[in-house]
Amino acid sequence: MIKTWPLTPLYRRPWPISSAVVSQLDPSIPIEEEKTPNYHADRFYSVYLGQVLNGRYQIATKLGYGANSTVWLARDLNRWRWSREKYVAIKVNATSQHSRRVHTENELDIMRHISQVNSQHKGWYFIRKLFDSFTLEGTSGIHSCLVLEALREPLWLYRRRYIGGVIPPDILKILTQMILHALDFLHSECRVIHTDLKPDNIMVKIEDASIFERDAKDEFNNPLPQKNLDTRTIYLSRNNYGPLSIPTGIIQVVDFDLSVRAEPGQIHMGAIQGKIYRAPEVILNAGYTYSADIWSLGVMLWDLLEGKGLFNPTAPDKADGYDDQSHLGQIEALIGPPPQNLLSSGQRTSMFYKPNGELKDPGRIPSDFSFENTIGFMSGEEKLRFIRFVKRMMKWSPKERNTARELLDDPWLHEDFPQD
């Protein structure tokens, strides 16, 4: 008989619950996830600092939240005691109605699929991977939990690290190449359309993993103020890691809960994408495929280069409300009128266009809106080459847009050009 010795004492042990004095926030004022639309406390799992989830992950700090989840930094206790600490991000999904449950199951399916596809592809390194998954039983149902690589911050925050709050062209070229490699991996290897590409869903890796341990210890010894309620505690997110210590970060494309699988030539229907990143075929409901992601990338470059959106499609009578027809009018000002074959295939075309292909309200087409006058942080040949690059992505016809792989060869990405 072979005697086996328990290895548990050789693994890392949970830290004790912090005894530090914590400042209390006013319980009547909503904070964090409480401020999201349609918030209901019962839908969110009550996570608390120091808690060990799934017998393995000890919650160290809160990283962030959304309308349907909270995200936490956790110590992985399944490590030898003499090895370095490892921190992971745990996305704890809220319970919800059927449609949201489908999204949660879809995200898990897509991420499992991605993790099994060609790891030799360059783009594999720029996609956030799933480490582990498990479920928790809450008072209102089952919560799906994803264990992911802990990352630094999304691009909308990352750009603020630079002078003027915008990413310089030479840095943006490197980041764009990474995004294109990631999209080529998703499209050509995984057969996945992201469907929600925007600065929120592209994050930058941490340049030094010890930063996570620093924050975990700081939260333990000097916890941020928190809000204690009868059934739960609402924590403030600790996710600002300060100035960069290296000039260019490594990106990761994240958030696949709305992603779809598609074979070449397969067309999907329905509304996808953040409103200002929405491709024209999606606005018209003419069906979309991989090229919808390419359109979103082209639009998104303005957020990073100029610090503001390319489009501002508001209705004349509502200055703060998104308007489809104004969006289509601004697109027409940039790249000319839409082709008839696109209009004829759109299920919503008659809402915005006359039978002859003219916009119902031609006043929505701005006269002074062009690629040239929306760019202030580049000039000369650099600006011209950038516009040519973007025009390869922003075409009315989805079939005419270049693929991510084709765009990787663009001169703007690889050459330096004189400014005025």
CA–CA separation, 59 and 72 (whole Å): 7
Q: Which amino acid is at 123?
A: G
Q: Work out the average pLDDT over 83-101.
A: 81
The model's pLDDT over 279-295, given as tens digits with 9 standing for 90+, comes to 999 999 999 999 999 99
pLDDT of residue 55: 94
- pLDDT at 244 exceeding the cut of 90: no
The dihedral region occupied by 126, where left means phi > 0, alpha psi between -120 and 50, and beta the remainder, is: alpha
In sequence order, the 6+-apart residues with CB closer than 8 A to the CB of 50 are 14, 15, 16, 17, 18, 58, 59
Say if residues 343 and 353 touch (Cβ distance below 8 Å): yes
- Determine the distance from the C-alpha atom of residue 50 to the mean position of all C-alpha atoms in its chain, rounded to a whole number: 28
Residue 102 CB coordination number (10 Å):
12
- pLDDT at 205 exceeding the cut of 50: yes
- pLDDT at 1 exceeding the cut of 50: no
CA–CA separation, 69 and 104 (whole Å): 10
pLDDT of residue 52: 96
pLDDT of residue 8: 67
Q: Work out the average pLDDT over 400-417.
A: 93
Say if residues 89 and 72 touch (Cβ distance below 8 Å): yes
pLDDT of residue 73: 98
Number of residues in the chain = 420
The model's pLDDT over 158-191, given as tens digits with 9 standing for 90+, comes to 999 998 999 999 999 999 999 999 999 999 999 9
Q: How confident is the model at residue 101 (pLDDT cuts 50, 70, 90)?
A: low
Which comes out higher in pLDDT, residue 64 or 101?
64
pLDDT of residue 6: 53
Which comes out higher in pLDDT, residue 67 or 317?
67
What CATH number should be reported for the domain whose range is 161-206+249-419?
A: 1.10.510.10
pLDDT of residue 2: 41
Could you tell me the two tokens for 202? 């592209």
Q: What is the DSSP string of 242-256?
A: -S-SSSSPPEEE---
**Is the pTM of the predicted complex or chain greater than 0.75?**
yes
pLDDT of residue 5: 44
Handedness of CA 304, 310, 313, 319 (dihedral sign): positive
Mean pLDDT for the chain overall? 92
The model's pLDDT over 247-281, given as tens digits with 9 standing for 90+, comes to 778 999 999 989 999 987 788 999 999 999 999 99
Say if residues 176 and 117 touch (Cβ distance below 8 Å): no
Tell whether residue 91 is among the known ligand binding residues.
Answer: yes
Q: How confident is the model at residue 79 (pLDDT cuts 50, 70, 90)?
A: confident
Residues of the chain above pLDDT 90, percent: 80
Residue 350 CB-half CA count within 13 A: 1
The model's pLDDT over 380-389, given as tens digits with 9 standing for 90+, comes to 999 999 999 9
Q: Which amino acid is at 103?
A: H
- pLDDT at 7 exceeding the cut of 60: no
pLDDT of residue 81: 84
pLDDT of residue 4: 44
Show the 3-state SS of 12-57: CCCCCCCCCCCCECCCCCCCHHHHCCCCCHHHCCCCCCCCEECCCE
Task: Decide if 317 is catalytic.
Answer: no
Q: Of residues 26, 42, 76, 196, which has the active-site annotation? A: 196
